[in-house]
Structure 1
Amino acid sequence: MRKNIKLTAAATATAALALGLSACGTASDPAATSESGAKADESKALVVAASPTPHADILNFVKDNLAKKAGLNLEVREFTDYVLPNTATQQGQADANFFQHKPYLDDFNKKNKTTIVPVVNVHLEPLGLYSKKAKDLAAVKAGQTIAVPNDTTNEGRALALLADNGLITLKDGAGTDAKLSDIKDAKGLKFKELEAATLPRALNDVDAAVINGNYAIEAELEPATDSLVLEKAEGNPYANFLAVKEGNEKDARVQKLAKLLNSPEVKKYIEDTYNGSVVPAFGPAQ
């Protein structure tokens, strides 16, 4: 049986985190046994906090097919929001996490005074615009409402996607942290800001929504075929990576997992499983 747990965001993140982790009841509870850096006991499980799809799926592929041969004891814990994985890693309840890209991490560290650092890039999940009402981009017209993620970096990314495809015009100089106030010309469109995880469920209530790749896949959407428009992978700064609390980069278990996540076996798994909806983006994380 996989030692996975699924948690949702609660009003008090720390309390929810403590409750979820204590409910695990395993002897390898990282709150009691975690060690840091190169001195970590290699025989102990490396606990990785991850979004369910595709992150936990990729990690479980590694766990089931590659980890034992590499001498890695890997435990995957699933989280369904974008806050608790970093909180768990910073506080030591998880040794690493796998769910985010660099712009999001930079913003999170700044706002929360955390010290999470990237280790190795693994894949890219292209952001897409989806609709149950419009059959193509031309059908998105003035007066309609588009839902976008409400976190800083993913909202900026969503607005860039809309601007790149002519649906809006952004003010000069609007960067990756663009906000609704940076829209120079909305071309009659209205916008609704929602938590990223809730966007697929909102498709019945809005005319279109910009949805992160992992949440689209979880909702049984096929980004490569169901989106009205999809982010281009080339030159994209939003590769998702394995991350740890600063100082733990040289943990031998982390280094083993980083190598496995950039292996030919994982590349093939991603390509065969996701058919272009998730694409490999291997290499050192900056």
Structure 2
Amino acid sequence: MKKLISVLTLVVIAFALAACGQSKSAENKKITVAASPAPHGEVLEHAKEEMKKKGYDLEIKVVNDYKVPNKLLDKGDVDANLFQHVPYLNAEKKSHGYKIEEVGKVFTTPMGVYSKKYKNIKDIPEGSTIYVSNNPAEEGRFLSFFVNEGLVKIKKGVKIEDAKFDDIVENKKHLKFNNQQGAEFLPKTYKSGEGAAVIMNSNYAMDNGLKPSKDAIVMEDKSSPFANILAVKEGHKNDKKFQELIKVLQSKDMKHFIEKKYGKDVVPYEAK
């Protein structure tokens, strides 16, 4: 009787271990990614089939608030996220202590200046208000449009991607930058006609029915240092599943998909 119980116990343990192993294996084959709706979520949707061929189940959690994806990743509610560039990630890590790292760059959603009143950035009159998001990591990005046109100068030695409004040393037209709202509200500000111009990312513009390459009076070019990245928890960027995912996201097929679907409104990353 004791032998029978021992044998049964071993069988139960074996089944339990096997089930546990299968469960862990299934978990390892699933990748949950938090992403902005478009183009981020749509790009990941396109990646699903190729990832399935590689044996991975790609699940997309769409989030329209840029303060949320890093929180979800830090808490372990998702495995990765796709919505931010490196300067923003660095600012988030500094502010919140997140242990998050870049796996690789995917594409750039070019930022643009939008105006219902002016066709050229140089036509914006003195003392005008420019609406921008309340994202401090992008202040240099906002300023770059005006620096490039010679309307604003920043301190010597400060890289444009690191620049802050406090680094302005010359503002020829005394422009005012209103940064009191989140990026998701800027399309509404633009449509209402507030201020002389609104600066926003192409993904927020597209989500609100705008075509950046047509509606923006000026846009970033391919030299922009603000490519959006696939990010994961520190220590995991070399995990096989994330390396497989970044290969798909940087593939020729994905480049073709992005160019065909978005034209100049989204710029696929090209490794140098």
TM-score range (shorter-chain normalised) is 0.7 to 0.9
Aligned pairs for 1:175-186 (under 5 A) are 175=159, 176-186=161-171
Q: Is the 8 A contact 2:122 2:149 kept in 1?
A: no
Going from structure 1 to structure 2, the CA distance change for 1:153 and 1:259 (only over 3 Å counts) comes to same
1:226 maps to: 215
What per-residue deviation string (whole Å, max 9, x for no partner) do you get for residues 150-179 of structure 1?
212212211122211233222333432322
What is the percent sequence identity of the aligned residues? 40
Going from structure 1 to structure 2, the CA distance change for 1:267 and 1:140 (only over 3 Å counts) comes to same
Question: In 1, Cα distance between the equivalents of 2:94 and 2:136?
Answer: 12
Asked if residue 57 in structure 1 is aligned to residue 42 in structure 2, the reply is yes
For residue 253 of structure 1, report the CA deviation from its aligned partner. Answer: 2.1
The structure that has the greater radius of gyration is 2
Residue type of the partner of 2:215?
Answer: D
Q: Is the 8 A contact 1:90 1:116 kept in 2?
A: yes
Residue type of the partner of 1:192?
Answer: N
- Structure 2 alignment gaps of length 5 or more: 1-19
Question: In 1, Cα distance between the equivalents of 2:267 and 2:249?
Answer: 13
Question: In 1, Cα distance between the equivalents of 2:121 and 2:225?
Answer: 24
1:160 maps to: 144
Q: Is the 8 A contact 2:187 2:205 kept in 1?
A: yes
Q: TM-score, length-normalised on structure 1? A: 0.80
2:197 maps to: 208
Residue type of the partner of 2:135?
Answer: D
Aligned pairs for 1:101-112 (under 5 A) are 101-112=85-96
For residue 223 of structure 1, report the CA deviation from its aligned partner. Answer: 1.8
Q: Is the 8 A contact 1:120 1:283 kept in 2?
A: no
Q: Which moved more, 1:52-61 or 1:208-217?
A: 208-217
Question: In 1, Cα distance between the equivalents of 2:177 and 2:25?
Answer: 47
Residue type of the partner of 2:189?
Answer: A
Question: In 1, Cα distance between the equivalents of 2:248 and 2:52?
Answer: 11
What per-residue deviation string (whole Å, max 9, x for no partner) do you get for residues 207-259 of structure 1?
1011112112212222222111111212x321111110012223332222111
Q: TM-score, length-normalised on structure 2? A: 0.84
Taking only aligned residues, the RMSD between alpha carbons, in angstroms, comes to 2.0
**Counting helix residues as a fraction of each chain, which structure ranks higher?**
2
Residue type of the partner of 2:183?
Answer: A
Aligned pairs for 1:190-269 (under 5 A) are 190-193=176-179, 194-203=181-190, 204-234=193-223, 236-269=224-257
Q: Which moved more, 1:274-283 or 1:109-118?
A: 274-283
Asked if residue 150 in structure 1 is aligned to residue 134 in structure 2, the reply is yes
Residue type of the partner of 2:269?
Answer: A
For residue 280 of structure 1, report the CA deviation from its aligned partner. Answer: 0.9
Residue type of the partner of 1:202?
Answer: T
Question: In 2, Cα distance between the equivalents of 1:40 and 1:97?
Answer: 22
What per-residue deviation string (whole Å, max 9, x for no partner) do you get for residues 13-57 of structure 1?
xxxxxxxxxxxxxxxxxxxx9xxxxx8756542100001111001
1:20 maps to: none
